[in-house]
Amino acid sequence: MGVVGGFGASMRGPGHVHHNGMEMVRFGAYAGLPRPALDAAAAIWRSAGFAVKLFDDIDRMVWEKLIMNVAFSGPSCLTGLTIGEIMDNPEAWRVARGCAEEAIAVAAARQIDLQVGDPLDHIRRLGGRIPQARPSMLLDHLAGRRSEIDVINGAIPREAAKVGLAAPVNETVVALVKAREAGFSGG
């Protein structure tokens, strides 16, 4: 299972891709994949010039990425702002931070060991590396496509309920994104 982090790319037109950054590809063994097979997959990515980190704890791998996604995906979709613009705008950052704080609290309640130092500092540090990036959720909306809101910001209220927490900021972001998507014709 792989997760990318610190990437920012978008299609500028047919055959034209814009790349904002490339931090790391993370891999973890899923469903009992033997470690040598995981190592072999990582070696292929490394040989292509990618930084690769292997994880034994898939939950940690996913949640370290998820806290970043919930901070920027839904808020960017709703505001039209880039990651850097969200961090620079006090009102947009207040919403993004609220989304992230709820996700961080759920991870803690699930005893997921996020090894990123202070999670909010981590989010701002990584976001600062790709300030011009527009999350894929915003790009989907600009193209009139439904987004992955249910598996990003929508995951936080679902997981929060399992551990007796609430996630009202993420619930609100999800509702507003879905309201925008109601007018979209398809996937």
pTM of the entire predicted model: 0.81
More confident residue, 35 or 88: 88
pLDDT tier for residue 8 given thresholds of 50, 70 and 90: low
Output the domain CATH number for residue 109.
1.10.1040.10
Tell me, what's the pLDDT at 144? 93
The answer to whether position 18 is within a domain reads: no
Instruction: Look over the chain and give the mean of its residue pLDDT values, rounded to a whole number.
Output: 87
Tell me, what's the pLDDT at 38? 77
The answer to whether position 39 is within a domain reads: no
Asked if pLDDT for residue 64 goes beyond 70, the answer is yes
The answer to whether position 95 is within a domain reads: yes
The answer to whether position 38 is within a domain reads: no
Residue 123 identity: I
Give the CB-side neighbour count of residue 96, counting CA atoms within 13 A: 30
Asked if pLDDT for residue 6 goes beyond 80, the answer is no
Tell me, what's the pLDDT at 16? 61
Question: What span, in angstroms and rounded, lies between the C-alpha atoms of 123 and 181?
Answer: 27
pLDDT tier for residue 61 given thresholds of 50, 70 and 90: confident
| In contact, 67 and 142? CB cutoff 8 Å | no
The answer to whether position 106 is within a domain reads: yes
What average pLDDT does the segment 24-47 reach?
Answer: 76
Give the tens place of pLDDT for each residue, 101-160. Answer: 999 999 999 999 999 999 999 999 999 988 999 999 999 999 999 999 999 999 999 999
The answer to whether position 44 is within a domain reads: no
Domain that holds residue 133: 57-181
The answer to whether position 81 is within a domain reads: yes
The answer to whether position 12 is within a domain reads: no
For the purposes of burial, counting CB atoms within 10 Å of the CB of 164, is it exposed (0-12), middle (13-18) or buried (19 or more)?
A: exposed
Tokens representing 54? 């292997």
Tell me, what's the pLDDT at 18? 58
Give the tens place of pLDDT for each residue, 161-173. Answer: 999 999 999 999 9
Question: What span, in angstroms and rounded, lies between the C-alpha atoms of 7 and 24?
Answer: 8
Provide the domain count of the chain.
1
